[in-house]
C-alpha cells in the first residue's frame, strides 16, 4: 500500500470512528440532551415543524436565544396542519434547567436537561427536529431510537461470530463425517431465505402480542441463525489450510489435545478475517432491522428505532407536509456509511499486513542455503 493509500485509510478510519463515537455518546445521553421524554404526547402539537431559534425579531436583538410561542391549526380548505406564531412574545431558552426526571444510563436518577424553556408554563415547546403525528419530540425519539439501531449489529455479531467460528473451526479441523454433517447444516442455513423468514417471524410475534423487547431479541437471534453458514464456510476453508502448518503439527507431536490446538493455535489465525467481516456485516444488519421496523414487523411501540421512526413517513403526502420526519433516515445513512467505511479501512489494513508478511517471508530453499 502506498503512502497516499495509507493516509486515505487512516483518515477514513478516524472519520468513521468519530462519527460513530458522537452518535453513540449522543444516544447514550438521550434523556439529558433532549428536553422532553421520547414517549410524551402533545396532540395539539402534532406535526409541529422544527422550532426556529431566534436572536432577532421585530423588537430588536437579544443576546439570549429565544423562540416565539406557537399553536398548530388545521387549514379548513386543505386540512393540512400549519403553525401560527405569536411574534409579539418571546420565550427564552435556558441551559441546564430542571425538567422531567429520568435515569442517566438507566442507573443514576437525574432531572437536568441540556436546554429547555425558561418559562415552562408558557404552553409552548421547543422542537429542534419537529414533532411527529402524536406531538412527540422527534429529537428525543431519534436519540432514543438510535440506541436500538446502533446496538442491533453488534448484538447479532455477538451471536453469529462465535457460532460461525466454532462450527467452521470444528468442521475444518476434524474433517470426515463431522465436516460433512456440519457443512450440510451450513448449507441449510445459507439456503433459508432470510427476509421471508424474518417477515413470517415478525408477523407471528405480532399476532401473539409478544413483548416488544422479546420480539426484537427473537428477530435478532433469527438473523444470527440465518447468517452463520456463509461465514462458517470461509472459516472452515482457512482452518483446512492452517491445520497442516508446521506449528500445528509440532503442537500435535508434543501431545497437545485437539481442543487446545483448535483454540490456542488455529482459531487465533482467523480472528483478522472475523474482525473485518464483523465490521462489514454490521451495515447490512442495521438495514435489515430498519426494513423490518419500517414494515411494522421489527421494533414496536413503546420501543423505537430509526427504521420505526421512518414508518411515519410512508405516505408521500405526509412527507410533502412534514419533511422533517425523514431526519431519522439521515442518522441511519450516516451510521451505515460510517460502519461501511470502518470495515473497508480494516479490510485494506489487513490486506496491507498480509502483503507485508508475504514480502518478508523467506523461502525454505533460501533459508537452508544461508
Supply the pLDDT for residue 88: 81
User: How buried is residue 198: exposed, middle or buried, by Cβ count under 10 Å (0-12/13-18/19+)?
Assistant: buried
Place of cell 479441523: 173
What percentage of the chain carries pLDDT values higher than 90?
18
Which residues lie below 8 Å from residue 36, measured CB to CB, with a gap of 6+? Answer: 99, 100, 125, 137, 140
How many Cα atoms sit within 13 Å of 356 on the Cβ side? 8
What gap in Å lies between CA 298 and CA 290, rounded to an integer? 8
C-alpha cell at 198: 424474518
| 67: its cell numbers | 423562540
Cα-Cα end-to-end distance for the chain: 30
206: left (phi over 0), alpha (psi -120 to 50) or beta: alpha
Strands 70-74, 98-104: pairing kind: unpaired
Per residue in 107-157, pLDDT (tens digit) is 889 999 999 887 766 678 899 999 998 889 999 999 999 999 998 888 888
Phi and psi at residue 24, in whole multiples of 5°?
A: -65, -45
- What pLDDT, in 10s, does the model give residues 66-105? 888 888 787 777 767 778 888 888 888 999 998 889 998 8
414533532: which residue's cell? 131
Helix (H, G, I), strand (E, B) or coil at 78: coil
Tens-digit pLDDT profile for residues 180-239: 888 888 888 777 777 777 777 777 776 666 677 777 778 778 777 777 778 888 888 888
Type and span of the H or E element at 346:
helix 327-360
Question: 247-267, pLDDT tens digit by residue?
Answer: 878 877 887 777 888 888 788
Write down the pLDDT at residue 363: 39
Report angle CA 18, 22, 24 to the nearest 5 degrees: 115
The CATH 1.10.3720.10 portion of the chain extends over 144-358
The pLDDT of residue 142: 95
CA distance to 243, 250, 251, 252, 370, per residue, from 246 (Å): 9, 6, 9, 10, 20
Q: What is the pLDDT of residue 32?
A: 94
> Residues 309-333: pLDDT tens digits?
998 888 888 888 889 999 999 999 9
Report the topology of domain 144-358. MetI-like fold (1.10.3720)
Amino acid at each position: 500500500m502506498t503512502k497516499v493509500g495509507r493516509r486515505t485509510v487512516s483518515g477514513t478510519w478516524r472519520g468513521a470512528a468519530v462519527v460513530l463515537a458522537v452518535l453513540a455518546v449522543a444516544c447514550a445521553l438521550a434523556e439529558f440532551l433532549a428536553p422532553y421524554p421520547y414517549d410524551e404526547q402533545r396532540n395539539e402539537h402534532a406535526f409541529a415543524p422544527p422550532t426556529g431559534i431566534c436572536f432577532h425579531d421585530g423588537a430588536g436583538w437579544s443576546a439570549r436565544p429565544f423562540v416565539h410561542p406557537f399553536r398548530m391549526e388545521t387549514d379548513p380548505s386543505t386540512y393540512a396542519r400549519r403553525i401560527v406564531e405569536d411574534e409579539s412574545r418571546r420565550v427564552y431558552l435556558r441551559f441546564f434547567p430542571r425538567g422531567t426526571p429520568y435515569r442517566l444510563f438507566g442507573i443514576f436518577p437525574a432531572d437536568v436537561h441540556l436546554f429547555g424553556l425558561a418559562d415552562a408554563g408558557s404552553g409552548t415547546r421547543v422542537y429542534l427536529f419537529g414533532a411527529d403525528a402524536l406531538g412527540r419530540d422527534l429529537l428525543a425519539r431519534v436519540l432514543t431510537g438510535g440506541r436500538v439501531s446502533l446496538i442491533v449489529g453488534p448484538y447479532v455479531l455477538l451471536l453469529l461470530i462465535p457460532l460461525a467460528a466454532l462450527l467452521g473451526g470444528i468442521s475444518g479441523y476434524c474433517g470426515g463425517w463431522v465436516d460433512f454433517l456440519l457443512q450440510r447444516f451450513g448449507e441449510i442455513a445459507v439456503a433459508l431465505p432470510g427476509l421471508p423468514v424474518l417477515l413470517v417471524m415478525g408477523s407471528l410475534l405480532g399476532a401473539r402480542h409478544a413483548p416488544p423487547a422479546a420480539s426484537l431479541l427473537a428477530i435478532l437471534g433469527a438473523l444470527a441463525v440465518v447468517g452463520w453458514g456463509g461465514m462458517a464456510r470461509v472459516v472452515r476453508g482457512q482452518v483446512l489450510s492452517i491445520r497442516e502448518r508446521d506449528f500445528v503439527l509440532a503442537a500435535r507431536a508434543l501431545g497437545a489435545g485437539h481442543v487446545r490446538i483448535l483454540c490456542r493455535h488455529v482459531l487465533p489465525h482467523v480472528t483478522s478475517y472475523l474482525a473485518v467481516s464483523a465490521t462489514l456485516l454490521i451495515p447490512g444488519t442495521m438495514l435489515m432491522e430498519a426494513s423490518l421496523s419500517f414494515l411494522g414487523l421489527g421494533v414496536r411501540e413503546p420501543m423505537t428505532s430509526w427504521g420505526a421512526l421512518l414508518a411515519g413517513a410512508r405516505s408521500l403526502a405526509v412527507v410533502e407536509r412534514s419533511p422533517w420526519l425523514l431526519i431519522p433516515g439521515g442518522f441511519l445513512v450516516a451510521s451505515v456509511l460510517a460502519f461501511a467505511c470502518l470495515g473497508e479501512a480494516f479490510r485494506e489494513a489487513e490486506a496491507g499486513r498480509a502483503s507485508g508478511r508475504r514480502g518478508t517471508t523467506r523461502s525454505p530453499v533460501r533459508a537452508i542455503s544461508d
